[in-house]
Amino acid sequence: MICLFFCVMLCCVQVFWYFPLKQQLENLLQNEGYRHLLLHETRRAKSEVLLCDVYDTPRWRKVAGEPTEQLSRIVFQICVDAFPWTSRKNAGSVKPWQICLLSLPPWLRYKAKHMFCLAIIPNALKMQAAKKYYDFAAAYEMNDLHLTGIYGVRVIMHGTSLDSPGRRELLGMQSVQAYYPCHTCMHTWQPGLSKVIHGGYRRFLPEEHAWRAKTFRVGNFQYEFRDVECRQPPVRRTDTLVSLAVLRATPARPFLGHKSLPFLWNWLGADWGRNMPDRLHDLKCFCEMTLKGFVGRGSDGFYKNWGSRDAQHRADCRIFGIFDEFVAGALPPWRLSKEQRKLMDTRVKSMWWTHYSDKLAWKGYSFWMKTDRIWKAKHKILCLLTVLPTCLRGFVAAAHLAIVYIVDALKQLDGQFIATHEAMQLGVSPHDSPIVDESAIKAVGRQLLKGLVMLEGSFPVSHLNPALHHLVHYAVETARVGSLVWVSMNSFERNNKRMKGMVRSNAHPDVSLANDTQVDIAARVSSLDKDLLGTQPPPLITLSTKISGGLYIPTRRQRYCMSLIGVKRFDHIQGYNVARIRGIHFSCGEWGQRTCGSVFTTVYRGRSVYGILDRFMFVHGVEYAAVTWLSKPFYPYAPITLVVRVRMLLAADQPLNRCVIRCDRIEPCGVNVMPDEDGVHYYMMRTRGFDRRLQ
């Protein structure tokens, strides 16, 4: 039976709903099928040089140690994130403590039905009023679970997934706008004319680096700064440094960014290394910041809030002696003109979008005109990582080049999504996606830092969002904890949405949520055997939507190409129009349509190539695809392969390439298409992963 605990204070009544984790896990660990799932780390294939899952990272080895044949520990990620219980403004919100079991296989751990709710507290509780509940959880069971566990299975914390406000609260630190903004290092903001300036990326460069100067050039573009950067790189925060800082800190007099003891101070195993950047909210803030700078004053959404910032930026530039043409009255070098903005809008409206992807342009407007086209965080991330680098080509050149550097580095740090055939060759599980090349992280980190420096030198000094600073540490954190996709808040936000739907009463929403959470926990135990039937890995390739008649008669050229890859018989070939390859939807015959699932990418001789799907075929137990190839990709910003331009191959050139490939060589990523204005070329924008590097 799940217990609910109440804390009654003399001055007021505070309700704290607690669902003991020990009781939740006891029922699950008695099931042999569930224990078998928790041993996924031991059974999986792994690589010595690739980070394929959290199990391969230094952080995992530090907190969990080496895997064992018998279940001896389970490792979890915790998130504390508030959500409003109704859609009405100022109606109140609650803050659940959510737990994700990283020991489960990756295709299960992020699903809402496999996540746990540890507690629910009112969001209004802050500082010591909230910390006492975390101390209660530590004393009641969490420290005992860390030391002795359940049935000999220890329960260990891997880390926390938090947005900037939540991290500030949980760590007892000041906000990211404060003088000491970072939970990872001792970086400090610089004073501006009216407020601190959220820059200073050049201090992370080597001390004698040429880019520490007041101005420097990259090709034809000049980047300008307020001063010469003479500061040394900041030191990282450690457990020892934090322990000394919190001894002197008080809420009224913060010290080195600390105001009080962290909420998890009394939890065993909750070291400072548990704090990890949150990719979801950092990239969301990054996207909003760049769009505001490029558009300026607008009539819709967050464009309306621009106000008199151009005058403020002009005053800053005059004082610091930068961007002389802008100071003299010209359009800011980071700003799109009205005509250019209309062209950006036209480019986005002309795009062909993948299936099951929200389009960022509808009813005649894109996000360049109406910001409600990107009202979700996932829309902003799609905009930043997929659309902006290609859409901005030819305009705001200095800032665009910086974004190309940054986004390309971010996509590499997120990891590559490789085809099933390549996964087998590398000796890793095809269900582990994405994978990160550990040997390339340092070089990618240097590229990311260069991009951030270039962005600072091409944007107004007081416009940078403070959350952008977290990106400086992405490379180091990726080397420590793996792809930040694995520990992002995406899954917790989805579970928040599910929990919000569990509120049945507006009069007593917290009681209603707690009661339904208790029922949900009890139902999980009773339906466990049924749920375990669906825990097998999803199929790698699934064909659906048969063609009319079912059987497909390949052309003479297709039969010849199939014979080259091992097909001996050509009878009873089944034809299909739709395939799901590692969960990604592909459809034949949609080239040129607004919803287009016909474009794919694969690797040929170490390089990425693109093609169009004509037909899927099932031949004696093996899936094949008849394809039409596009031209060899051209990369305008080579060696960076983020912006990709191709054209249709002439019919006379198609026979030079095989027109049939196996489906296990298609990479599991969708491809959006932006037709060029010349009517001949097309820009390929893959939704995840990156084109293979030029040799």
Do 523 and 581 fall within a single domain? Answer: no
Residue 402 CB neighbour total at 10 angstroms: 26
pLDDT value for 93? 83
Establish if 221 belongs to a structural domain: no
Per-residue model confidence as pLDDT tens digits over 383-425: 999 999 999 999 999 999 999 999 999 999 999 999 999 999 9
Q: Tell me the average pLDDT of the chain.
A: 92
Do 474 and 517 fall within a single domain? Answer: no
pLDDT value for 695? 57
Do 27 and 139 fall within a single domain? Answer: yes
Beta-sheet pairing, 154-161 with 73-80: parallel
pLDDT value for 5? 47
For the chain, give the longest Cα–Cα distance.
Answer: 86
How far apart CA 84 and CA 80 sit, in angstroms, is 14
DSSP string, 394-440: TSSHHHHHHHHHHHHHHHHHH-B---HHHHHHHTS-TTS--BEEGGG
Establish if 243 belongs to a structural domain: no
Residue 397 CB neighbour total at 10 angstroms: 15
pLDDT value for 324? 93
Do 292 and 426 fall within a single domain? Answer: yes
pLDDT higher than threshold 80 for residue 527? yes
Mean of the pLDDT values across residues 533-557?
91
pLDDT value for 234? 95
The dihedral sign for the CA sequence 23, 70, 63, 143: positive
Do 384 and 517 fall within a single domain? Answer: no
The helix or strand, by DSSP H or E, that contains position 446, with its residue range, turns out to be: helix 441-458
Do 445 and 559 fall within a single domain? Answer: no
pLDDT value for 91? 66
Per-residue model confidence as pLDDT tens digits over 422-441: 999 999 999 887 999 999 99
Q: How far is CA 123 from the centre of its chain?
A: 26
What does the block give as tokens for 639?
């060696």
Q: Kindly report whether the global pTM for this prediction surpasses the value 0.85.
A: yes
Do 331 and 457 fall within a single domain? Answer: yes
Cα–Cα distances in Å, from 496 out to 402, 419, 456, 478? 35, 32, 35, 26
pLDDT higher than threshold 50 for residue 651? yes
Confidence of residue 85 (pLDDT cuts 50, 70, 90): confident
Q: Find where tokens 């860390």 sit.
A: 146
Confidence of residue 7 (pLDDT cuts 50, 70, 90): very low
Per mean pLDDT, which range of 273-287, 356-370, 649-663 is the poorest?
649-663
Residue 309 CB neighbour total at 10 angstroms: 16
pLDDT value for 122? 84
How far apart CA 379 and CA 287 sit, in angstroms, is 10
Residue type, 268: L
Do 385 and 469 fall within a single domain? Answer: yes
pLDDT higher than threshold 60 for residue 2? no
Do 402 and 454 fall within a single domain? Answer: yes
Do 437 and 568 fall within a single domain? Answer: no
Cα–Cα distances in Å, from 604 out to 632, 655, 663, 665? 11, 16, 14, 10
The helix or strand, by DSSP H or E, that contains position 452, with its residue range, turns out to be: helix 441-458
Establish if 94 belongs to a structural domain: yes
Per-residue model confidence as pLDDT tens digits over 292-302: 999 998 888 89
Per-residue model confidence as pLDDT tens digits over 498-518: 998 888 887 788 888 899 999
pLDDT value for 655? 87
Nearest CA to 169 among 261, 103, 92?
261
Task: Report helix, strand or coil for 471.
Answer: helix
C-beta separation of 106 from 432 below 8 A: yes
pLDDT value for 87? 63
pLDDT higher than threshold 50 for residue 11? no
Cα–Cα distances in Å, from 317 out to 164, 290, 329? 29, 18, 12
Task: Report helix, strand or coil for 238.
Answer: coil
pLDDT value for 433? 77
Task: Return the DSSP state at 11.
Answer: S
How far apart CA 473 and CA 261 sit, in angstroms, is 24
Mean of the pLDDT values across residues 660-679?
96
pLDDT higher than threshold 70 for residue 525? yes
Residue type, 613: L
pLDDT value for 8? 39
Residue 421 CB neighbour total at 10 angstroms: 18
What does the block give as tokens for 229?
């950067």
How far apart CA 612 and CA 628 sit, in angstroms, is 5
First vs last C-alpha separation in the chain: 61
Establish if 12 belongs to a structural domain: yes
Do 438 and 338 fall within a single domain? Answer: yes
Per-residue model confidence as pLDDT tens digits over 244-268: 999 999 999 999 999 999 999 999 9
Confidence of residue 461 (pLDDT cuts 50, 70, 90): confident
What does the block give as tokens for 146?
């860390």
Alpha helices in 159-278 (DSSP H): 164-171, 239-248
How far apart CA 355 and CA 599 sit, in angstroms, is 11
pLDDT value for 355? 96
Q: What is the CATH number of the domain that holds 600?
A: 2.30.30
Per-residue model confidence as pLDDT tens digits over 596-631: 999 999 999 899 999 999 999 999 999 999 999 999
Residue 306 CB neighbour total at 10 angstroms: 14
Per-residue model confidence as pLDDT tens digits over 351-372: 999 999 999 999 999 999 999 9
C-beta separation of 430 from 582 below 8 A: yes
Domain extent, residue 577, equals 541-686
Mean of the pLDDT values across residues 642-648?
96
Q: Who's near 509: CB < 8 A, 6+ residues apart?
A: 85, 86, 92, 94, 503
C-beta separation of 200 from 185 below 8 A: no
Establish if 432 belongs to a structural domain: yes
Confidence of residue 10 (pLDDT cuts 50, 70, 90): very low
Task: Return the DSSP state at 54.
Answer: G
pLDDT higher than threshold 90 for residue 286? yes
Establish if 117 belongs to a structural domain: yes
pLDDT value for 653? 86
How far apart CA 108 and CA 106 sit, in angstroms, is 5
Alpha helices in 253-337 (DSSP H): 279-295, 309-320, 324-327
pLDDT higher than threshold 60 for residue 458? yes
Give me the number of domains the chain comprises. Answer: 3
Do 425 and 505 fall within a single domain? Answer: no
pLDDT value for 12? 45
pLDDT value for 307? 83
